[in-house]
Structure 1
Amino acid sequence: MSQTPAVLSSPPTAPPSGASPGGVLVIGGRTDVLRKAKALGLHVVYVQQPQYFRAEEAAWCDKALLVDYTDWRELRPLVAAAHEAYGFTCAFSTLEPALEPVGLVNELLGFDGNPSRVSVLLRDKWAMRRHLAGAGPLAVAAAEAGGRESLVEFGRAHGFPFILKPVDAAASLGVLRVDGPAAIDAVLDRLEGLRSSSEHQFANFFRLERFLMEEYLDGPEYSVESLSFGGRHTVVAITEKRTHTEFVELGHALPARLAAGAEAEITGCVTAFLDAVGLRHGPAHTEVRLSSRGPKVIESHDRTGGDRISELVEAAYGIDLEGRALAWLSGQGEALPGRPRPRAAAATRFLTSAPGTVVEIHGVEAARALDGVLDISVGVRVGDTVPPLQASWDRVGQILVTAADTAAAVDLCDRVAEKISIVTA
């Protein structure tokens, strides 16, 4: 979708006392990223889709380019002109559709950030599987899905169940499990429905046209939050998950409760993976199953994790992943000296309700008053419609807590959730 670019300017915010001058190009993302860049004393040039730019963001950037940043033909000349005029020295984003444009900017201007190839490999799951096919323990059997016969053949070759998922998507959208030959026709019907859907939250970015078949990986799933500094990868946290029907995430808790040997296996798997895909700088959010054949990467992203995992990391470890990455890329901060030790634990749980129209919401304020609750957000109001739980955005609220250890944090999340009732009819 092409948009007419616009340029806005706002009065620059004075940098903190003692900060060195510098600049950053921020593409997409949240207002918090702009605030963190200004706190580092950086001159901020902000690139955003015109329909998503908010007036309050003008206070946190020095210049704004309003353009469809997914169209490189439009973005390239604007970035080149802005760089000549304002002299920023790095580019940054934590938003999935903006990561490849950031890599293209790095290549265009010679910045020491990740090249676009890294983002392509992490976004395109089929490209990632092909890239890792000869990488020993990192390899996972996969093939691009075609018609019915391709599913039959994959099941014969690699066994049932196996996974069918979009090549290019996020938030657990469209992830299906094929349990056996008799299930193939029903799965294909569901797949065709997904291909024709334009109602989901990321319809402008993820078209759901291509699907990937992958061997089924057993075992519990974890995510690994890391920061990389010039090719040295530091695992900051390993996060355990709670899911609905295996795929839609209903909760996270960290530090994950793992034996030392399993933790070392997961850490080694993730650092080898990040080396293999060429990631050298900044955050990564890597999802891993601790399978019966050892840890296996499900997917990864060159950004911080969603579901407010970064806030859990900050509560438990005192480390702002985005702020650290921005400081490193802009030359305003040092690399982490090593893996940090937790000072507490943190957890989140998502609220769900039966499909239907919301008629009552109870208990939110009483739950907020409990010790250890960091935040409670409810994303629906009376009169809203709740769909069936098929992707992350079908969840209706979120609880974030902190506690002395992970078991206590998970228990607190459950007790808070019990106090909240979202009734549908």
Structure 2
Amino acid sequence: MSKQYVLIVGGRIENVRKAKEQGLGVIFLQRPELWSAGHATEVDAALLVDYRNWEVLEPLITAAHQVYGFTSVTTTSEAGVEPAARISDLLGLGGVSHEVALLLRDKLSMRRRLQAAAPRVSVAAEEVTGRAGLAEFGAAHGYPFIVKPIDGIASLGLQLVEGEEQLDEVWETIGRLRGVDHQFATAFPIDRFIMEEYADGPEFSVEAFTFDGRHVVVAITEKLTFDNFVELGHVVPARLAPEAARDVADCVTTFLDAIGLAQGPSHTEVRLSARGPRVIESHNRPGGDRIRDLVEAAYGFDIERYTVAWQSGTLPPLTERPEVRQGAATRFLSAEPGTVTEVEGLAAAKEQDGVLDVTLDVGVGDTVRPLRSSWDRLGQVVAVGPDADAALALCEKTSETVVIRTERRADAVE
């Protein structure tokens, strides 16, 4: 039998390695600036192109398919989900459709679909069209409410509107953020904004995998957040009463049915409000922030491996949710804004029993920015323990041993 190939769009090199371990050939589609020498020894062929440009991508993919005949296309990266869906539609590969990928990316379109198909898991939402619209939404749905970019990621630009007295400031912030440059601005420009009814209560994410239309909730992840909604950490499994966990899982499977997701991974954020669980947003990819590693450590299910290999038929479908083996958690590192002058405790932190990894993304001389989005975090601790409480406690203890000292310049501008 000839070798079966998968087309992988972007993502980390572990995607490629896991596909190869399943006996698959890999055609790798990557932006040239993200290609590394390490990829060359792992892939069977590479297309180095800005895959966000469909006019360039379509003829290249058509030609590559004629040569290699890959039978599936997949991605684990947010920037790759829409191109992967367009490729699947173009070649009839049976993956996530472009329509579904767009619904998950465009928060306003997603809300409109839910308002028609599954209103009980959603909240009221409208597009921001002007300063007057903010006041009208607050009058209709009450305060607080949320304002955020329709195509936003990483909590950038998210605002909590707590009263009418804030509306001038909120409208000014919207104007300032439109067109702002950020590290993913090409793929996720900030332009249009959405207003959403605020859902109170604790926040969770649900890591699920869909097998030919059948959704399996693998894990419910508990989120820890700063006051501005930027994520501080994650805990698996979430510390939830069984009935609440069932309600959250049911909310997500209802949502996935309404959206029409038929294959592959999903990462859906939910708030458990006083009126029941409400979907915040969702993505047809594994969760970021090392959540995929927490799920594997806690449940033994490698969602990344399934993402790259499930449609190729080299892995069995899950028939039910796997049993929890242990707790797993991550805690992000932060420091006061300024210039890094010293880092202490990193080596000792990595040596503690139960600590799987400690990463630090800054060094002496680097700048620590105010914490306004996920990109402003400085690193993270990943740890396991007998249960969720123990894993989180170890994360918090370890994070306190990594000391990042900064010095603030007198002329610094935030």
With the length of structure 1 as denominator, give the TM-score of the two structures. Answer: 0.94
Question: What percentage of residue pairs aligned between the two structures are identical?
Answer: 53
Asked if structure 2 preserves the Cα contact closer than 8 Å seen for 1:20 and 1:332, the reply is: no
Alignment-derived partner of residue 77 in structure 2: 95
Asked if structure 2 preserves the Cα contact closer than 8 Å seen for 1:348 and 1:401, the reply is: yes
Alignment-derived partner of residue 15 in structure 1: none
How many residue pairs align between the two structures? 406
Alignment-derived partner of residue 302 in structure 2: 320
Q: Residue type matched to 1:298 in 2?
A: I
- Could you tell which deviates more after superposition, 328-337 or 338-347? 328-337
Alignment-derived partner of residue 374 in structure 2: 392
Rounded to whole Å, the distance in 1 between the matches of 2:28 and 2:156 is 29
Alignment-derived partner of residue 357 in structure 2: 375
Asked if structure 2 preserves the Cα contact closer than 8 Å seen for 1:327 and 1:334, the reply is: no
Alignment-derived partner of residue 136 in structure 1: 119
Deviations 1:340-377 (A, max 9, x none): 11111100000010110011111111111111000000
Match status 1:70 vs 2:59: no
Match of 2:269 among 283, 287, 306: 287
Q: CA deviation at 1:333?
A: 1.2
Match of 1:213 among 191, 195, 205: 195
Alignment of 1:25-424 (within 5 A): 25-134=7-116, 135-198=118-181, 200-424=182-406
Asked if structure 2 preserves the Cα contact closer than 8 Å seen for 1:224 and 1:288, the reply is: yes
SS of the aligned residue for 2:115 comes to coil
SS of the aligned residue for 1:250 comes to strand
Rounded to whole Å, the distance in 2 between the matches of 1:390 and 1:20 is 50
Q: CA deviation at 1:20?
A: 7.5
Runs ≥4 in structure 1, deviation > 3 angstroms? none
Unpaired segments of 5 or more residues in structure 1?
Answer: 1-18
Q: Residue type matched to 1:330 in 2?
A: S
Asked if structure 2 preserves the Cα contact closer than 8 Å seen for 1:141 and 1:214, the reply is: yes
With the length of structure 2 as denominator, give the TM-score of the two structures. Answer: 0.96
Rounded to whole Å, the distance in 2 between the matches of 1:370 and 1:321 is 27
Asked if structure 1 preserves the Cα contact closer than 8 Å seen for 2:9 and 2:30, the reply is: yes
Rounded to whole Å, the distance in 2 between the matches of 1:238 and 1:124 is 24
Deviations 1:173-199 (A, max 9, x none): 11111111100111122222221421x
Q: CA deviation at 1:208?
A: 0.3
- Could you tell which deviates more after superposition, 37-46 or 268-277? 37-46
SS of the aligned residue for 1:283 comes to strand
Q: Residue type matched to 2:9 in 1?
A: I
Q: CA deviation at 1:276?
A: 0.6
Asked if structure 2 preserves the Cα contact closer than 8 Å seen for 1:241 and 1:251, the reply is: yes
Q: Residue type matched to 2:32 in 1?
A: P
Asked if structure 1 preserves the Cα contact closer than 8 Å seen for 2:95 and 2:263, the reply is: yes
SS of the aligned residue for 1:133 comes to helix
Rounded to whole Å, the distance in 1 between the matches of 2:183 and 2:288 is 14
Q: CA deviation at 1:36?
A: 0.9
Q: CA deviation at 1:207?
A: 1.1
Asked if structure 1 preserves the Cα contact closer than 8 Å seen for 2:8 and 2:308, the reply is: no
Rounded to whole Å, the distance in 2 between the matches of 1:414 and 1:323 is 29
Q: Residue type matched to 1:386 in 2?
A: V
Q: CA deviation at 1:251?
A: 0.4
Rounded to whole Å, the distance in 2 between the matches of 1:289 and 1:110 is 36
Q: CA deviation at 1:246?
A: 4.5
Asked if structure 2 preserves the Cα contact closer than 8 Å seen for 1:20 and 1:41, the reply is: no
Q: Residue type matched to 2:214 in 1?
A: R
Q: CA deviation at 1:133?
A: 1.0
Rounded to whole Å, the distance in 2 between the matches of 1:380 and 1:102 is 32
Alignment-derived partner of residue 412 in structure 2: none
Q: CA deviation at 1:201?
A: 2.0
